[in-house]
Amino acid sequence: MTRRGYLPILLVLAVLALLPFAVTSNVVLNFVVFVLIITLAAQGWNLLGGVGGQSSFGHAAFFGTGAYVSAILQVRFGINAWVATAVAVAAGAAVGWIIGFLSFRAGLRGSYFALVTLAFAEVLRILANAAGFTGGAAGLLMKLDVGFWNMQFTSRAAFLWLALGFVAVGLIVSQMIANSRFGAQLVAVRENEEAARALGVDVLSVKLKAITVSAALTAVAGCLYLQYFLYIDANIAYGLWISVEALLAPMVGGRGLVLGPIIGAFTLHGLGEASKLLAGRVPGIDLAAYGAVLILVVAFAPGGVLGLLRKLRFRSQPVAKTAEETA
Amino acid sequence: MYSLPIVAEAMLNGLLTGAVYALIALGLTLVYGVLHIINFAHGAFLTCAMFAVWLANTFLGLDPYLAILPLTLIFFAIGYAVQRFVIGPASHGDDGNILLITLGLSIVIENALLAGFRSDTRSLMTDYSFNVFEVGPLLISQARLFGFLGAVVVTGLLWLLLAATDTGKAIRAVAKEKLGARLVGINVSHVFAVTFGIGCATLAIAACLLMPTFYVNPRVGGAFVLVAFTIVVLGGMGSITGALIGGLFIGVVESLCGLFLGESLGQIGIFIIFILVLLFRPTGLFGARA
């Protein structure tokens, strides 16, 4: 175990934590909280899709399970928000393990894995939309009851720090994994599954561990979304939008890198807001910009924003890519 | 509980819908078979084509069935250009990249349509939209029967194209062995683009056959594309006959699930089949490759 890589994380966290002292605009704080929630979902995706190379198109399955389990526990059973969140995250992790167990054991990878995760998320969406205890198509509305124990805050800053706390946990977990033996095994599976197996890596168990942690992180994002907006329905919680958000941010920021998701989420949503300002109130224009950014990144900057920065820094000397660096 | 004519009518309706599903899946399976990519932008191109039909009808007064020929040509050209000048160069030949590029394309197209047309749902009013044939106790919508026949004819033509023409031979050669095809003088990136163009052209036909009885809004393609994925996986990726049979089967499954489980759960049967096929027989029922 090394202590490498924690300094940049600390810097990013410090800047965001001090933000509420510099800015009081609710619009800006709202924006930051929303982007932090997306960051959490993206950190989950990055662990499985970025570090492990198993691109999922259905992280909505974990986001939605987190949100729904937490909402049902609080609305129907009156359980404390913090306990509900903990149970919901465990439920999200369990769903991740089950989906992983079924699809990895069947040997699905690449496009097939992407499609099967998409299908699982769709099944959950249709079920949540039709079942009674999930509120059906009307969704679930939480009671507004501000207080620490209900995880509801009047000040946007308080919620920002809460979300940032979870993002910090996500960053530290990602960095610990990147520095660990498990992280190296995961990268080995991404680069060449057969070779990893030949070297004695238990591929199935490495992938299962990755998808479980990944699902848990994304489930936290679902829980936070619920606590912040106090309303979910099937198209929000299990919708394709969150699967795409979770995938886009790491791709744009830097796939497989610890800081990739947070950099990517802020870049994307910053660009989205900018295009909204430029184009006025045209619906869909920010999303069209995301799509264009995705195409441009894949075409011209496969390493994402962080990859570009690194290229600029090391322009004179060739970049040596070690497993730990790319993780 | 359910009388025989109702079940029979549901099955018949399922077959009619299923044929159009098959037509949509046809382009997807062809592109997969040759380029080995899953085209996430397929649904967005379908939405584009449906808007094109709507525009042609509303502003030029062009009947959807007469629009088939010009739109097929236009969409072939669009598909050719997109593959040749966007997807091909941007992906650097990596399959994972192509998946992401087509995802990006679908996001751009869908939201550009949303910006241009807003989220209103539009439909065509033709004087034959509600005509029916009466067969015994069953009523069959004329427009949907035409859709069925059109889909079957196009499938046949596509099969002929692949089996009997030089272009078809080149496409099959590239699908089997890219390097070998290049060595015998086939222009691989041209064949890729032609294949992608054909995929888009079948979507234009599907849109013309759909529009007399269906509606269009910027998100409509998404509903079709997931169904099309299921059909492609069920029929075996790259198999034309598999797509046709899979499409008809899925149409019937959806229709019966809707009848027995209620409208909101109608599509769940499709996704459960999808997951089961992927987990237990990922090569599909007619697929040859692993």
Q: How many domains does chain B have?
A: 1
Q: Tell me, what's the pLDDT at B290? A: 37
Closest Cα in chain A to B109: A288
What digits encode the pLDDT tens for the residues A311-324?
887 764 544 444 44
Per the domain annotation, does A92 fall within a domain?
Answer: yes
Answer whether B268 sits within 8 Å of A126, measured CB to CB: yes
- Buried-state track A47-64, b at ≥16 Cβ within 10 A, e below 16: bbbbbbbbbbbbbbbbbb
Answer whether A115 sits within 8 Å of B119, measured CB to CB: no
Q: Tell me, what's the pLDDT at B3? A: 80
Helix (H) or strand (E) holding B134: strand B132-135
Which of B99, B113, B222 is closest, CB to CB, to A111? B99
Q: Would you say residue B124 has pLDDT above 90?
A: no
Q: Tell me, what's the pLDDT at A176? A: 93
What digits encode the pLDDT tens for the residues A187-211?
999 998 899 999 989 999 999 999 9
User: Would you say the C-alpha torsion B160, B164, B165, B167 has a positive or negative sign?
Assistant: positive
CATH of the domain at A222: 1.10.3470
Per the domain annotation, does A322 fall within a domain?
Answer: yes
Q: Would you say residue A289 has pLDDT above 80?
A: yes
Closest Cα in chain A to B275: A116
Side chain identity, residue A146:
V
Side chain identity, residue A113:
F
Which of chain A's residues have a Cβ under 8 Å away from the Cβ of B262?
130
Comparing B88 with B286, which gets the higher pLDDT? B88
Per the domain annotation, does A76 fall within a domain?
Answer: yes
Per the domain annotation, does A161 fall within a domain?
Answer: yes
* Residue of B12, B142, B156 whose CA lies nearest to B65: B142
Is the distance from CB of B3 to CB of B131 less than 8 angstroms? Answer: no
Q: Tell me, what's the pLDDT at A2? A: 54
Q: Tell me, what's the pLDDT at B269? A: 82
What digits encode the pLDDT tens for the residues B4-15?
878 888 888 889
Q: Would you say residue B287 has pLDDT above 60?
A: no
Note the Cα A297 to chain centre separation in Å: 19
| Banded pLDDT at A132 (limits 50, 70, 90) | confident
Which of A107, A119, A282 is closest, CB to CB, to B275? A119
Comparing B286 with A161, which gets the higher pLDDT? A161
How far does A282 lie from chain B, in Å, by closest CA?
6
What digits encode the pLDDT tens for the residues A39-61?
999 999 999 999 998 989 999 99
Report DSSP letters for B228-264, one per residue. Answer: HHHHHHHH-TT-HHHHHHHHHHHHHHHHHHHHHH-GG
Q: Would you say residue B71 has pLDDT above 60?
A: yes
List Cα–Cα distances, B163 to A306, B23, B167, B236, B243, in angstroms: 49, 18, 9, 18, 16
Which of chain A's residues have a Cβ under 8 Å away from the Cβ of B229?
115, 118-119
Which of chain B's residues have a Cβ under 8 Å away from the Cβ of A110?
95-96
Decide the pairing of beta strands B215-216 and B122-123: antiparallel
Query: Please, which residues 274-313 of chain A have a Cβ atom closer than 8 Å to chain B?
Result: 279, 282-285, 287-288, 290-295, 298-299, 302
Per the domain annotation, does A286 fall within a domain?
Answer: yes
Per the domain annotation, does B287 fall within a domain?
Answer: no
Per the domain annotation, does B286 fall within a domain?
Answer: no
Q: Tell me, what's the pLDDT at B64? A: 87
Torsion of CA A119, B276, B36, A296, to 10 degrees: 10
Any CB–CB contact under 8 A between B131 and chain A? Answer: no
| CA atoms of A317 and A321, how far apart (whole Å) | 12
Per the domain annotation, does B135 fall within a domain?
Answer: yes
Residues of chain B above pLDDT 70, percent = 97
| CA atoms of B50 and B220, how far apart (whole Å) | 9
Query: Please, which residues 167-226 of chain B have a Cβ atom closer than 8 Å to chain A?
Result: 218, 222, 226
Its domain, for residue B153, covers: 4-120+127-280
Which of B95, B99, B271 is closest, CB to CB, to A123? B271
Q: How many domains does chain A have?
A: 1
Mean pLDDT score, B183-193 = 91
Which of B104, B267, B274 is closest, CB to CB, to A295? B104
Which of B100, B267, B278 is closest, CB to CB, to A298? B100
Answer whether A126 sits within 8 Å of B271, measured CB to CB: yes
Per the domain annotation, does B61 fall within a domain?
Answer: yes
* Residue of A13, A325, A305 whose CA lies nearest to A166: A13
Per the domain annotation, does B271 fall within a domain?
Answer: yes
What digits encode the pLDDT tens for the residues B152-174?
999 999 999 988 999 999 998 98
Which three-class secondary structure state does DSSP give residue B215? strand
List Cα–Cα distances, A137 to A58, A68, A231, B243, in angstroms: 20, 13, 12, 33
Candidate from A22-31, A273-282, B42-51, B99-108 with smallest mean pLDDT = A273-282
* Residue of A129, A135, A132 whose CA lies nearest to B268: A129
| CA atoms of B263 and B259, how far apart (whole Å) | 7
Which of chain A's residues have a Cβ under 8 Å away from the Cβ of B111?
284-285, 287-288, 291
Per the domain annotation, does A110 fall within a domain?
Answer: yes
Best interface-test mutation with A: which of B95, B101, B108 has the largest number of A CBs within 10 A?
A: B108
Torsion of CA B235, B240, B244, B246, to 10 degrees: 0
Per the domain annotation, does B270 fall within a domain?
Answer: yes
Which of A114, A287, A295 is closest, CB to CB, to B111? A287
Closest Cα in chain B to A102: B279
Per the domain annotation, does A1 fall within a domain?
Answer: no
* Residue of B205, B224, B213 whose CA lies nearest to B145: B213
Q: Would you say residue B1 has pLDDT above 70?
A: no
* Residue of B246, B172, B162, B228 whose CA lies nearest to B28: B228
Side chain identity, residue B152:
V
User: Would you say the C-alpha torsion B265, A115, B101, A216 has a positive or negative sign?
Assistant: positive
Which of chain B's residues have a Cβ under 8 Å away from the Cβ of A240?
222
Query: Please, which residues 75-94 of chain B have a Cβ atom closer than 8 Å to chain A?
Result: 86, 89-92
Comparing B225 with A325, which gets the higher pLDDT? B225
Answer whether A114 sits within 8 Å of B265, measured CB to CB: no
Residue A273, burial from CB neighbour count under 10 angstroms (0-12, 13-18, 19+): middle
Mean pLDDT score, A1-21 = 82
| Banded pLDDT at A3 (limits 50, 70, 90) | low
Its domain, for residue A272, covers: 6-326
Interface TM-score (ipTM) > 0.90: no
CATH of the domain at B48: 1.10.3470
| CA atoms of B79 and B45, how far apart (whole Å) | 9
Answer whether A299 sits within 8 Å of B101, measured CB to CB: yes
Per the domain annotation, does B285 fall within a domain?
Answer: no
| CA atoms of B204 and B71, how far apart (whole Å) | 6
Q: Tell me, what's the pLDDT at A323? A: 43
Q: Would you say residue A213 has pLDDT above 90?
A: yes
Per the domain annotation, does B290 fall within a domain?
Answer: no
How far does B215 lie from chain A, in Å, by closest CA?
20
Report DSSP letters for B113-133, one per residue. Answer: HHHHHTT--EE---TTTT-EE
Any CB–CB contact under 8 A between B276 and chain A? Answer: no
Q: Tell me, what's the pLDDT at A297? A: 87
Side chain identity, residue A281:
R
Q: Tell me, what's the pLDDT at B242? A: 87
